[in-house]
Amino acid sequence: MRNRTVWDRTKMPVASISWLVSMLVILVITYKGVPLYTYLAFGFLALLFFSVSDRVAFFFYNTLMLVTVFYFLFLAFKESWQPGEQALAIGLHFVFLIHLFSLYSLSKYVYQVGAENRLLKSRVAQLEEYVLEEGVLTKREFEKQATLILSNMSRRKETGFYLKADLIEINRTVRQKLMLALASMMYVTFRKNYDIVGQFDNTTLIVLVQNTDEKGLAIVRDRLEKLLAERLEEDAIKKVRWTVMKIDGQRALYEAAVVK
């Protein structure tokens, strides 16, 4: 992240003060000769600038600047302004341009902040590889790692299994707590840095057990069942629906493994 200069830190306060002061000056100069409802245009301008992109706001800024220049020229010739009136109009237009530029600067800053926030959210989503401290993967990260593992298993002609736990029948009030407990137990039961555990949504956990036959899976499941019996109530254990799917040379993820 680049270091912020003094101007970077002060330009928005300066623009805000300039916008407010210029608006007050315009009100003081024109309030006797302009209907009050005309000042609603200031609110409309603010909404216009803050509701569009930076490029569109810049287009509006230049358009309004040119339109007001020609409008004052038209009035000057039409009404044959005297030097004093011309000087007042020039001063008023100058203040209006300051107001307009300040408004554009503020809208540009708001647009940039919004764009940076969206980018940061996108990056955070990409960096959030794990949803739990126990090392349980998000669905996206699970699918990414599983695709690589399946490719290697297919090349080495290894077998493996998907083991999916569905907690849809668990009461919602305790489901999240049970999900965390089950995810932790699954992670410590299976082989760390070898088998992968993923959480797909608020009700589904899945494990990809690689290079394992039916006997090896049975041993691991037996350890998991003993751990579940020690830490969970029997009624909760019965409501967990388990699904086992064999992997035998497939390179792609099973549809049933990633979709409820």
pLDDT tens readout for residues 164-223: 999 999 888 888 888 888 888 888 888 877 888 888 888 899 999 888 889 989 998 999
Higher-confidence residue of 148 and 253: namely 148
Higher-confidence residue of 153 and 5: namely 153
Give 259's pLDDT tier (boundaries 50, 70, 90). Answer: very low
Among 1-10, 63-72, 137-146, name the one with the lowest average pLDDT. 1-10
Question: What's the whole-number mean pLDDT along residues 223-246?
Answer: 89
Q: Is the pTM of this model over 0.85?
A: no
Average pLDDT, the chain: 83
pLDDT tens readout for residues 99-128: 888 888 888 888 888 888 888 887 766 655
- The CATH architecture to which 137-258 belongs is 2-Layer Sandwich (3.30)
pLDDT tens readout for residues 23-44: 888 888 887 777 777 778 878 8
Of 8-12, 63-67, 123-127, the range with the highest mean pLDDT is: 63-67
Indicate if the pLDDT at residue 258 is higher than 60.
no
Indicate if the pLDDT at residue 52 is higher than 70.
yes
Tell me how far apart the alpha carbons of residues 260 and 257 are, in angstroms, rounded to a whole number: 8
Domain regions of the chain by residue span: 6-127, 137-258
Tell me how far apart the alpha carbons of residues 74 and 85 are, in angstroms, rounded to a whole number: 14
Question: What's the whole-number mean pLDDT along residues 79-102?
Answer: 88
Tell me how far apart the alpha carbons of residues 150 and 198 are, in angstroms, rounded to a whole number: 15
User: What letter does residue 33 receive in the DSSP assignment?
Assistant: T
Cite the DSSP H helix spans in the chain.
Answer: 6-30, 40-50, 54-79, 83-127, 139-156, 172-189, 214-231, 234-239, 255-258
- Specify the pLDDT at position 255: 46
